Amino acid sequence: MVQSRQLNSLELDFLKLMSQKALSAAELSDIKLLVARYFLNKADAEMEQVWKEKKLSEEEINKILQADLSNK
């Protein structure tokens, strides 16, 4: 069973945007790409901060990445 929840302000804003104009497939794709890039940039900035705080070298980072990839 799916639980219902109240929409947050971002979700409501997206609904308002989508209801004002029918979007083409290309426009929808562009919006999805913008949102994906936004979250990618946020994740990248957070990882950069962790690397700086923990003073990890590029070699150490690559070891972590390789270990994570080999576990999948």
Check if the beta carbon of residue 36 is closer than 8 Å to that of residue 43: no
Specify whether the CB–CB gap between 15 and 7 falls below 8 A.
Answer: yes
Residue 12's pLDDT is 93
The residues spanned by each domain of the chain are 9-70
Q: pTM of the prediction?
A: 0.62
Tens of pLDDT along the chain (72 residues) come to 678 899 999 899 988 888 888 888 898 899 899 999 999 999 999 988 888 888 888 888 788 778 866 765
Say what the pLDDT of residue 38 is: 96
Using left for φ > 0, alpha for ψ between -120 and 50, and beta otherwise, residue 24 falls in beta
